[in-house]
Amino acid sequence: MEIVERAPRPSRITIPERAHPLARLVFAEMARQRFTYSELEWRANVLISTFKAWRKDNTPGLTTIEAALGALGWNLVPVPQVERLPADIREGLAELAERWGRDEPLLHHLLAGVCRAPLFNGRPRPASTDAPQLSGAAA
């Protein structure tokens, strides 16, 4: 008997209009990647009831939204306002925007990359924050 591959069925996950924007992103990615609630529950270690509560009345907490997005292959990265960035970085982003035709998703990735650069309050990040040491641990 020959195994016949079936086309994957379309997702039944809908994106609620009045949910929190990050919750809507989770539901949109669930639909796009054809994740089920059970699959996301197992991968994110967050109860299905939590996801269902996001649809109507609950705002997602930071830990649960990070877990859900991480299970879907996303990172939640804080991005500063453009006005708060140093002038040289703003100029570089403007050049990249012109070069790449103001492609919004690409600019968001570039800005997130800038935010993850090794800076700490505008100064180079101290080496001790990269590898935290426990007090009393041998160096």
Q: pLDDT digit string (tens) for 27-59? A: 999 998 999 999 999 999 999 999 999 998 899
Helix (H, G, I), strand (E, B) or coil at 114: helix
The residues pairing with 120 across neighbouring beta strands, listed in sequence order, are: 123
Q: What is the rounded distance in angstroms from the CA atom of residue 56 to the CA atom of residue 19?
A: 6
Percentage of the chain beyond pLDDT 70 is 65
Q: Compute how many other C-beta atoms are within 10 angstroms of the C-beta atom of residue 112.
A: 14
Residue pair 114/85 in contact (Cβ under 8 Å)? The answer is yes
* pLDDT interval class at 7 (50, 70, 90): low
pLDDT exceeds cutoff 80 at 3: no
What is the rounded average pLDDT of the residues 71-83? 82
Q: What is the rounded distance in angstroms from the CA atom of residue 122 to the CA atom of residue 110?
A: 18
Q: What is the rounded distance in angstroms from the CA atom of residue 24 to the CA atom of residue 37?
A: 14
* Domain boundaries, given as residue ranges, for the chain: 21-71, 82-120
Residue pair 27/16 in contact (Cβ under 8 Å)? The answer is yes
Q: Dump pLDDT digits (tens) for 60-75.
A: 999 999 999 999 998 8
Query: Which own/partner pairs from 11-15 qualify as long-range (CB within 8 Å, at least 24 positions apart)?
Result: 11/35
- Per the listing, tokens 């054809």 go with 34
